[in-house]
Amino acid sequence: MTTVTELAVNGTRRQVAADPARSLLSVLRDDLDLTGCKYGCGEGRCGACTVLVDGKAVRSCTTLVGACTSKQITTIEGLERDGKLHPLQEAFLNVGAMQCGYCTTGMIMSGVALLAKSNAPTVADVAQSMDGNICRCGTYTRIIQAIRQAADAMKGGGK
Amino acid sequence: MSHVHESDSLAFEIEPERYELFEAPRYQFDFDRREFLQALGGGLLVFLLVDDAMAQPPQGRRRGGAGGGPQDIGAWLHISEKGDVTVYTGKTEVGQNIRTSLSQAVAEELRLPLSLVHMVMADTDRVPYDGGTVGSQTSPSMAPRLRRAAAAARAMLVELAAEKAGVERNSLTVADGKVSHRGSGRSYTFGELTQGKKMTKAVGADAAVTPAADWKVLGASASKVEGRAMVTGQHKYASDIQLPGMLFGKVLRPERLNATLASADVKEAKAQPGVIVVHDGGFVGIAAPTEHAAEQALTLIRAEWNASPQISEKELFAALKTSRGAAPAGFGGRGNSSQGSVTEGLKKADHKLNATYTIAYIAHAPLEPRAAVAQWHDGKLTVWTGTQRPFGVRGDLARAFQMPENRVRVIVPDTGSGYGGKHTNEAAIEAARLAKAAGKPVKLVWTREEEFTYAYFRPAGVIDVNAGVRNDGIITAWDLQNYNSGGSAIRGLYEIANQQTQFHQSRAPLRQGSYRALAATANHFARESHMDDLAHAVGMDPLEFRLKNLKDARLRAVLEAAAKQIGWGKSKNGHSFGIAGGFEKRSYVATCAEIVHERDSGQVRIVRLATAFECGTILNPDHLKNQVEGAVVMGLGGALFEAIRFSNGQITNARFSRYRVPRFSDVPELETVLLNRPDLPSEGAGETPIVAVAPAIGNAIFKATGARLRSLPMLPNGLKV
């Protein structure tokens, strides 16, 4: 397979020189210094590495970078626009939905994907949709609250 | 009579189950940060002196716990000539939100907006020595220290303003970062007062602080400091740190634990472009330009190991009961208590109950695995790593490389949790070893498999309880023997005239050490399950039974509050309730569980958990609630399904796809009642809330099904009874 030389990340073309067999996670983090997505398990079972690829939530730790060359990749760093946080980022802060914060970026990216599909998710909807993301500090209840708060905010004409 | 403790003069005992702290002795080193302090420049510098009670261990005992150290400095606070406030503490932020509560403490005493308090944490070159962020000690001991330092700084500012304005001190007030004179309306910013000054002051335990009743910032909910950096992905955890020329490290691991390296053929690995191989005794490691390249190179190493047969999980509990381990140095009878005569007490009982409880090994599984970035420069080693013991890790590094501690710097960024699991940090030593050989910085991040295999576990245990009770509900005898799990909370607060508790050290097959609440979880599970069975034996309501044998007002209060919250005593069709309560680290918790048991399928569904918690004066109610609920959720795992599985030196479920941890779908409705006691000193809350979850659920399951589950985890094969 040929070396990956370019990726479309957060609306910008980024130059890389990556072995296509490497994970998207490691290229984003180690080559592009986009360390918002995290390593938690390496087997796609904890959600800490979640990014959007063509708008869909994917686990970047089990995604080969070679498969992403013609796709639009969105990371946590791409959510903020002109200094304005995404409603879900705001909601996390308002609700205080963090303890150690390590799962937070993955939670937010998974949450953003959910909110793109559903504008009024119930508690059960959110829990089911987000079940692939682990929070070891146990902040689940607040994360659900934040996602639903963001859904409300976005219905009112937010982003 | 309630337990009331003077937080600052408590003797901090090392619990025997903190095995990782006994793995190597750590001693105190000379104060050598004068250079740094000089570099701070002018302004005001306040040193907080610590009471010696925590610094000096009893004769012949090794030290390892929280304490100020022989030089007796607990914290320092600096106000620059521009008026910038920076406070320095050796405590670490691992998700318990103490960066926020400690900043609130300083903001309160300095009458300064919270956003203007800058806190430097856990950089061994810049902060005072600290024994570790352990034992729920930060709120009871560090918060008061910072309050005193800040209060002293405030007094110095008032002094300076009085001088500058030529007025009496008591005509001045401090608010909003300014010192103002009531009469003339003149006011000075901190910077206007510190400009051109160079003053230091040492304050001690007697410095006056603002009473809780007058608090405006502390005691209120404040947003997480550094929260924005976390929701935007800007915060750099240790595993995010990048340095120019940095390589990625990997360590060759044996197939079985405790295996020794017989030989290693590294020729092929060494031949890979950009790859550096280190073979140093039993250590074989790789540093390469990418993590991928390092992983690939590792597979090219041909190694032979000598492994010895080891037991499997089926033999675990028998082994814990029959083997005798070497007692760790410093272990001195904690958990052993004796009162009256258990034999006589049993004779007086109308009902006797003898039962055995088993406790599995579980893993901390912090979402950020152990990770370190190491850099050597001019003979000085700097390591960024996540740990709750920065100075402990500094000592470990110094010892590993046989260098003086003052040539080692450990920097702990706000970390992706620890739960007691990152007190030691082998990744730091591994990264440093590779960096030394490479002549370049090395980042080494443990894989999840390595985390599940090489980190120490919460000790497994066997707990035998033998008790007797009279028909009127009075417990006449109580004997609890704990094998391997530990002595924390081994003795409950129930009034039992004839009781005996004892902790037995076993020779444990797996590496073990501190885990959130230590053995308190196991001991509460055994005790509160047994209490429930005794209540059942005499036909008494479980809450009424506990209260009948309990005088401690603070424990009674949380039991009653949790019961009230769940609606104890009200019947609800098809729903069953359980209660459990306890005491640990000078705080009190009670949890009530509401469950539904579907008779046909056997499925157990946890509907609601109500927890009442009391830890004296509350510093930040919202963050406290977050901690309590987080601990309860974490406790679900150990209660219901978490267990390390092992066989002959292999951990067989070393990944999240095999080791089940609590997820969104596991969380029931959570209700939390916080009892604020501003008349009592603040105690920590990081651990205690976890201890009543398992028995509360077990007691509810018993109520619903008649089945008494005496093993942690209670339902490892799915939530069915």
CA angle B312, B356, B713 (to 5 degrees): 55
Distances (CA, A) of B253 to B261, B305, B650: 10, 10, 12
- Residues in chain A with CB shorter than 8 Å from the CB of B661 are 134, 136
Give the span between the Cα atoms of B93 and B580, in whole angstroms: 30
Pairing assessment for the beta strands B187-189 and A72-74 based on DSSP bridges: unpaired
B296: number of Cβ within 10 Å = 18
Give the span between the Cα atoms of B412 and B409, in whole angstroms: 10
- Judged by CB atoms closer than 8 Å, whether chains meet at B663 and A131 is answered as yes
Residue of B nearest to A22 (CA): B292
Q: Choose the mutation target among B234, B664, B671 for the interface with A, i.e. most A CBs under 10 Å.
A: B664
- The larger pLDDT score, comparing residue A100 to residue B69, is at A100
Pairing assessment for the beta strands A72-74 and B73-79 based on DSSP bridges: unpaired
- Taking the Cβ of residue B233 and every Cβ of chain A, the question of whether any pair is shorter than 8 Å is answered with yes
Residue ranges in chain B whose pLDDT is less than 70:
1-34, 51-72, 326-334
- Residues in chain A with CB shorter than 8 Å from the CB of B94 are 100
Return the DSSP state at A30: I
Amino acid sitting at position B357: Y
Residue of B nearest to A29 (CA): B240
- Taking the Cβ of residue B95 and every Cβ of chain A, the question of whether any pair is shorter than 8 Å is answered with yes
pLDDT value for B326? 62
* DSSP letter string, B679-695: TS-----SSGGGTTHHH
Give the span between the Cα atoms of B73 and B391, in whole angstroms: 14
Write out the two tokens for B115.
Answer: 């956003």
pLDDT value for B75? 87
- Judged by CB atoms closer than 8 Å, whether chains meet at B233 and A77 is answered as yes
pLDDT value for A15? 97
Q: For residue B475, list its beta bridge partners.
A: B469
How many residues belong to chain B?
721
- The tens digit of pLDDT for each residue in A58-81 reads 999 999 999 999 999 999 999 999
Provide CB contacts within 8 A for B427, sequence distance 6+: B370, B371, B372, B385, B444, B445, B446
Give the span between the Cα atoms of B410 and B397, in whole angstroms: 9
Return the SS3 of B319. Answer: helix
B429: number of Cβ within 10 Å = 22
- Judged by CB atoms closer than 8 Å, whether chains meet at B232 and A85 is answered as yes
CA angle B442, B294, A17 (to 5 degrees): 90
Q: What is the pTM of this model?
A: 0.93
Which run of H or of E encompasses B464?
strand B461-469
Give the span between the Cα atoms of B241 and B374, in whole angstroms: 10
Return the DSSP state at A49: T
- Judged by CB atoms closer than 8 Å, whether chains meet at B419 and A34 is answered as no
B533: number of Cβ within 10 Å = 20
Structural contact between residues A32 and A95, judged by C-beta atoms closer than 8 angstroms: no
Return the SS3 of B115. Answer: helix
- Residues in chain B with CB shorter than 8 Å from the CB of A39 are 239, 369, 445
* DSSP letter string, B122-189: SBTTTS-----S-TT-IIIIIHHHHHHHHHHHHHHHHHHHHHHHT--GGGEEEETTEEEETTT--EEE
pLDDT value for B51? 62
Return the SS3 of B450. Answer: helix
Amino acid sitting at position B429: I
Residue of B nearest to A78 (CA): B232
Write out the two tokens for B136.
Answer: 């729920």
What is the ipTM for the molecules in this complex?
0.97
For B493, list phi and psi in degrees, rounded to 5. Answer: -100, 5
* Chain A with chain B: Cβ pairs closer than 8 A: 173
Give the span between the Cα atoms of B217 and B619, in whole angstroms: 9
Write out the two tokens for B18.
Answer: 């903190």
- Taking the Cβ of residue B656 and every Cβ of chain A, the question of whether any pair is shorter than 8 Å is answered with yes
Q: Which candidate, B389, B316, B311, places its Cα nearest to that of B643?
A: B316
pLDDT value for B24? 38
Give the span between the Cα atoms of A118 and B682, in whole angstroms: 44
- Judged by CB atoms closer than 8 Å, whether chains meet at B417 and A136 is answered as yes
pLDDT value for B60? 31
Per-residue buried b or exposed e for A103-142, using 16+ beta carbons within 10 Å of the residue's own CB: bbbbbbbbbbbbbeeeeebeeebbbebbebbbbbbbbbbb
- Taking the Cβ of residue B231 and every Cβ of chain A, the question of whether any pair is shorter than 8 Å is answered with yes
Q: Is the sign of the CA dihedral B602, B605, B610, B615 positive or negative?
A: positive
- Judged by CB atoms closer than 8 Å, whether chains meet at B667 and A141 is answered as yes
Distances (CA, A) of B587 to B112, B328, B342, B485, B618: 30, 27, 28, 21, 11
Amino acid sitting at position B25: P
Provide CB contacts within 8 A for B633, sequence distance 6+: A138, A139, A140, B662, B666, B667, B670
Per-residue buried b or exposed e for B640-661, using 16+ beta carbons within 10 Å of the residue's own CB: bbbbbbbeebbbebbbbeebbb
Structural contact between residues B357 and B526, judged by C-beta atoms closer than 8 angstroms: yes
Q: Choose the mutation target among B104, B133, B224, B231 for the interface with A, i.e. most A CBs under 10 Å.
A: B231
Q: Which candidate, B143, B94, B217, B20, places its Cα nearest to that of B686?
A: B94
Amino acid sitting at position B239: S
B639 dihedral zone (left: phi>0; alpha: psi -120 to 50; beta): alpha
Which run of H or of E encompasses B335?
none
pLDDT value for A143? 98
- The tens digit of pLDDT for each residue in B52-98 reads 434 333 333 334 444 434 446 888 999 999 999 999 999 999 999 99
Write out the two tokens for B4.
Answer: 């009331």
Give the span between the Cα atoms of B532 and B525, in whole angstroms: 11
Structural contact between residues B543 and B563, judged by C-beta atoms closer than 8 angstroms: yes
Closest Cα in chain A, distance from residue B235 (Å): 8
A53-A59-A60-A62 Cα dihedral, nearest 10 degrees: -120
Give the span between the Cα atoms of B703 and B176, in whole angstroms: 56
